Structures are given as C-alpha cells and as structure tokens.
Amino acid sequence: MKVEEWTVLADLSSIPGALDRVAAALQRLGVPAKAVQEVELAVDEAVTNIILHGYEGAGGEIALSCKRMEEGAVVEIRDAAPAFDPTAAPAPDLEGGADERPIGGLGIHLMRKMTDAVLYEYREGENVLRLVKHFER
C-alpha cells in the first residue's frame, strides 16, 4: 500500500499548494480524474475549516497523507487544533433560498457528498479526519 505524506502551514495561502499536491498524489496513486476532483473539493473544505475555525487563524500545522487501497483512496488530515468532530455536525437545512438559510454548515455537507465516508477520531492530541473515496478500477 503506497502512501504519500506531507505537512503544510495552517494558513489560507497554503491551500492552493496543498490541493495541487493532493491531486498530484492521487493521480500518481492511480485514482480516476473524477474521483480526484471530488476528493480535492472535500479536502479544500476540510483544510479551510481547520484553518478558519480550528486554529482560528492563529497558525499551526496540518499533516496530509494520501493512500491507495484496493477499493479506493483515503486522504487523512491531522491537526492539533481543539477537538472537533465534523461527523457529529447536523445536516444543514437546504430548504428555501440561499438568502433565507443561515450562513455556514455547507462545507461538511459538501465533504459528505464528495466522498463515500468521512471518518473522525481524536487521537494523541490530534484531530484525525479520513476522507474515503471508492471507485471502479
């Protein structure tokens, strides 16, 4: 099982490079283009949430890894921000127009829609988020 790992600064300016690296790693691991795009979008939401809400812009590090499994791929995202379980967040209310709904909550919804599983655990002082994507070989 091949794994690629790296760390980025928890700063909004780090997001484009991190996403490029995720996409390139997934492509090298043989992930189909459509799955790469969907996972990239989910990672964008997760990393942005960590920076803005976890670290609250105060800085820190975010570790990312991409792993190929027989049935798909997993991107693991780890950070040392305060514990937050996105899997416990309620589904957003999508009724009514965008201007009638409360702001926020769509990032986690998007992560759920773009992947087959969003798994979370708090381990050794770190948030560990796994985004799982299944695809046909």
Write out 43-92 in H/E/C secondary structure. HHHHHHHHHHHHCCCCCCEEEEEEEEECCEEEEEEEECCCCCCHHHCCCC
pLDDT in tens, 4-29: 999 999 999 999 999 999 999 999 99
pLDDT tens, position by position, 62-77: 999 999 988 899 999 9
Cα–Cα dist 118/121, whole Å? 10
Confidence of residue 101 (pLDDT cuts 50, 70, 90): very low
Domains delineated in the chain: 3-134 (3.30.565.10)
Q: Which of 72, 67, 68 is nearest to 6 (CA)?
A: 67
Residue 133 above 90 pLDDT?
yes
Tell me whether strands 61-69 and 3-9 are parallel, antiparallel or unpaired: antiparallel
Helix (H, G, I), strand (E, B) or coil at 21: helix
> DSSP state, 4?
E
